[in-house]
Structure 1
Amino acid sequence: MRVLVLFVCLSAGCLAQRPQRCTSPPQLTGDLYVATQNEKLLAFAKYSYDAQRQRIRLTESGVYSNETFQLDVLLLYRQRVMYKINSKNHTCYKRPLNVDFHPLAVPKNASLLAQVVLGGSSGPGQGILVNTWAGEQQMKEGKAGYMSTVTEFGCIPVSTLLHTSTNGWMVTSFFNNVVGLLDPQQLIPPPFCKDAQLEEEEGQDPATFFSLF
């Protein structure tokens, strides 16, 4: 009887533990949707993410400042270069990547807002347990507020809201996430990029993966 009581107490203690800050799996593949409060940007994208070798591939299409766009970029943080790829006409532009790699993770200064069930909790498989965290992040333009939601089990990203003085709230929603790289070749520059020369950065792209978090 004492063993049973002890087991129940230990189980209750485990269930009562507060959610912990976490880091997402080192390799992910999936889709995302991003939109800004000022309606300047609306885009859908497919992504491949490799934190181990600090590589990201983002293929997106959408509307930026009332103009449609398509963008295919390969970000190689260790090499400090970004490839803009056009697979249709086999052209490739190589530009400096002057930002540091930040793995998908709940920041250390984040505070827990809530733990909720997305969907339903009436039966198995009807919902998913998620944690929402909030805080401030230092950016080039100053401090920006954020809210990040990840799954309790696996720390899979669900959504991120980032507030900046330029765009207001920017929301990024992740879906169809798969742990691992479905096509590792996506994170290797295609052969026609071999002779691409490093160019000076010109302007700002509508949205690249590193600006979404």
Structure 2
Amino acid sequence: MRFWLVLGRPFSLHRSAFGGGKMYTAVLLFVFVCWTATAHADHHQPCRSPNMTGYVSVMGQRAETRAAGPFTYDSTNKKLRLQSNSSHPWNVTLDLDLLVFFEEGILYKIDSKNQSCEKKSLQCTKNPFALPSDATFMSTMTSGSVSIEGEGLKFQIWTTPTPGFKGQNIMCLTMGCLPLSTFYVTESSVFIFSNMNVELEIKDPDLLVVPSFCQGLPAEETPEGTVYGFYDEFL
């Protein structure tokens, strides 16, 4: 199940930022629908996502699949393992194996084949699997039918601040706080994270453990004046 979401306070939308064509049109339409819905928005408190094992796809601004593969997310400790391989039938553009400790501000880029690893410091800890405490509720909507039982999915739409980035971060979650899609848009990039086949458990806790060949590495320094975050891995 995939949702194409754009929502937020008024911001400039340029056709070039979305690669033109169908994506740009779809974005404009959804913006109009969501702005209309926010007129009736209620006050809600941010919720915490459950533990999750599932499958995620990451689509870029030209409708290319940047990454796709299994993920494991520990919502209590905010740890994530995401694996994507270019040999996947979806023909993804990125080979990635990421282990991320959001609370510690550390990202490991793992190469199991060569038993090597990069360790990076995160200055921005936003991620598409957790609704932050400073998120702003926008509206509740239903995908599909509102009146036919079993033919609609009710969900909430939230915006979240993105300090250090000139962009918008929008999250779509079920009423039980399960993330469905996250839309991250800047002046030059667009990413849509869509979660599928999610189970509310951590099936393999070992995936969230730092591999032995990654332990003891120093974190790479981030160039002065730049802000590095999880989303940068998909540029």
* TM-score between the two structures when normalised by the length of structure 1: 0.68
Query: What's the CA shift for 1:166?
Result: 1.5
Distance 2:211 2:218 in 1: 14
Contact kept, 8 Å, 1:118 with 1:130, in 2: the verdict is no
Asked if 1:50 corresponds to 2:49, the answer is no
Which consecutive unaligned segments of at least 5 residues does structure 2 have? 1-40
Contact kept, 8 Å, 1:27 with 1:181, in 2: the verdict is yes
Which 10-residue stretch deviates more, 188-197 or 174-183? 188-197
RMSD, aligned CA: 3.6
2:119 to 72, 94, 107: 94
Superposed CA offset, 1:24-58 (max 9, x none)? 33422211112222457622132222232232111
Asked if 1:139 corresponds to 2:163, the answer is yes
Q: 1:146 to 1:33 in 2, by over 3 A?
A: same
Using the aligned pairs only, state the percent identity: 24
Contact kept, 8 Å, 1:23 with 1:155, in 2: the verdict is yes
Q: What is residue 32 of structure 1 aligned with on the other side? A: 56
Higher share of residues assigned helix: 2
Q: 1:60 to 1:25 in 2, by over 3 A?
A: same
Which consecutive unaligned segments of at least 5 residues does structure 1 have? 1-16
Q: 1:108 to 1:184 in 2, by over 3 A?
A: same
Contact kept, 8 Å, 2:96 with 2:109, in 1: the verdict is yes
Q: What is residue 157 of structure 1 aligned with on the other side? A: 179
Which amino acid counterpart does residue 55 of structure 2 have in structure 1?
D
1:47-196 alignment runs, 5 A limit: 47-61=71-85, 68-100=93-125, 104-105=130-131, 108=134, 110-118=136-144, 122-123=148-149, 125-133=150-158, 135=159, 137-142=161-166, 144-152=167-175, 154-167=176-189, 169-196=190-217
Distance 1:41 1:200 in 2: 29
* TM-score between the two structures when normalised by the length of structure 2: 0.63
